[in-house]
């Protein structure tokens, strides 16, 4: 059974390169905020309300953790087998639904607006993760995971390829910005929004993280390998900090790998956070965006770090 570190510094926080030392706080440790999920995903911070929302996909619900009280309560159930979440620049919740095979926005009155569910009459597969750029455009991945069985959605035959899409700031039909990616999963922008990182979670021979340059017109170019995860690496959800480092949910049931990996802007591993469970996704939050929240298998963890999450992440 997992137990918090009894003394500082927490041995679960490991420097793989001397450059990571500046991001460690010697007197901050990994905290478990909640356990009792089946598969935790899609954490998103609401600073104005001082709470965090995240998805518990197989239980078809979203949960809310309150910063002031530490209490966890249901937020939305059923959730449409919600997966990834983010906020737009008006503060509204944007959610990827496996069950509905769509991307939705939660309005101020709690109603849902469908942003994307089909293209030319063909349904999306199972939108997985989503980010919003500063211009208001919405970017999301659409792999097959939610339609591959009945655990995180409902089994169905795909009607579209596995793509990465962009919804223009003024809405409209999603446009394909990246295709030919096997299992597009987590994604995020660099702190200056010049690069979009995309996790290819079914890549061959190994899983990988790709980098693409973002054009002024919203197009992507110069797709390249950023991280080769190797035979055992399993990147999932990703977020950038203000220095351009990439914080990546990681692991596949191996005690040696489960947790978070941190890569510098050149793609070199510089640090890791060991967890007793695979980390599926993460986000920065707290008043100063210096608290890393980690949705990991059955639980939600947090760690204060000596950096800040990039705005919009």
Binding residue per annotation — 128? yes
Residues 6 or more apart whose Cβ sits within 8 Å of residue 313: 131, 188, 189, 239, 240, 283, 284
The one catalytic residue in 10, 56, 236, 241 is 236
209-216 contacts: CB < 8 A, separation 24 or more? 209/235, 209/238, 209/246, 209/248, 209/263, 209/267, 210/181, 211/267, 212/178, 214/133, 214/189
Among 303, 300, 305, 298, smallest CA distance to 33 is for 300
Is 142 labeled as catalytic in the residue annotation? no
Structural tokens at position 130: 């989503």
Among 144, 188, 164, smallest CA distance to 309 is for 188
* C-alpha–C-alpha distance, residues 281 and 41, integer Å: 6
Burial 44-74 (b: 16+ CB within 10 A, else e): bbeeeeebbbbbbbebbbbbbbebeeeebee
Binding residue per annotation — 185? yes
Among 67, 39, 34, smallest CA distance to 55 is for 39
Binding residue per annotation — 68? no
Bridge partners (DSSP) listed for residue 228? 208
Confirm if 105 and 94 have CB atoms less than 8 A apart: yes
Binding residue per annotation — 236? yes
Binding residue per annotation — 59? no
Among 262, 272, 177, smallest CA distance to 219 is for 177
* C-alpha–C-alpha distance, residues 14 and 219, integer Å: 37
Confirm if 199 and 209 have CB atoms less than 8 A apart: yes
Annotated binding residues for a divalent metal cation, written as ranges, equal 41, 185, 236
Q: What positions carry a catalytic annotation? A: 236
Annotated binding residues, written as ranges, equal 41, 128, 152, 185, 236
Annotated binding residues for substrate, written as ranges, equal 128, 152
């Amino acid at each position: 059974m997992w137990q918090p570190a009894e003394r500082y510094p927490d041995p679960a926080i490991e420097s793989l390169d001397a450059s990571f030392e500046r991001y460690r706080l010697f007197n901050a440790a990994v905290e478990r905020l909640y356990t009792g999920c089946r598969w935790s995903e899609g954490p998103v911070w609401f600073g104005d309300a001082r709470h965090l929302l995240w998805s518990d996909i197989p239980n078809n619900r979203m949960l809310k953790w309150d910063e002031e009280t530490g209490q966890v309560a249901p937020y939305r159930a059923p959730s449409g087998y919600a997966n990834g979440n983010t906020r737009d620049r008006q503060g509204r919740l944007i959610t990827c639904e496996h069950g509905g095979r769509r991307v939705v926005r939660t309005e101020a009155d709690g109603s849902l607006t469908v942003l994307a569910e089909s293209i030319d009459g063909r349904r999306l597969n199972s939108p997985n993760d989503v980010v919003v750029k500063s211009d208001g455009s919405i970017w999301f991945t659409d792999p097959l995971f939610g339609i591959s069985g009945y655990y995180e959605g409902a089994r169905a035959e795909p009607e579209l390829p596995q793509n990465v899409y962009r919804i223009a700031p003024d809405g409209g039909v999603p446009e394909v910005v990246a295709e030919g990616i096997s299992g597009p999963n987590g994604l995020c922008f660099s702190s200056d929004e010049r690069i979009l990182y995309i996790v290819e979670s079914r890549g061959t021979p190994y899983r990988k993280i790709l980098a693409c340059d973002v054009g002024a017109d919203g197009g992507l170019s110069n797709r390249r390998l950023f991280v080769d995860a190797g035979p055992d690496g399993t990147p999932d959800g990703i977020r950038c900090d203000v220095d351009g480092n990439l914080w990546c949910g990681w692991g596949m049931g191996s005690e040696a790998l489960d947790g978070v990996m941190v890569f510098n802007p050149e793609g070199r591993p510089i640090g890791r956070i060991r967890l007793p469970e695979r980390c599926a996704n993460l986000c920065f939050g707290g008043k100063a965006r210096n608290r890393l929240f980690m949705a990991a298998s059955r639980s939600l963890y947090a760690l204060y770090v000596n950096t800040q999450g990039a705005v919009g992440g």
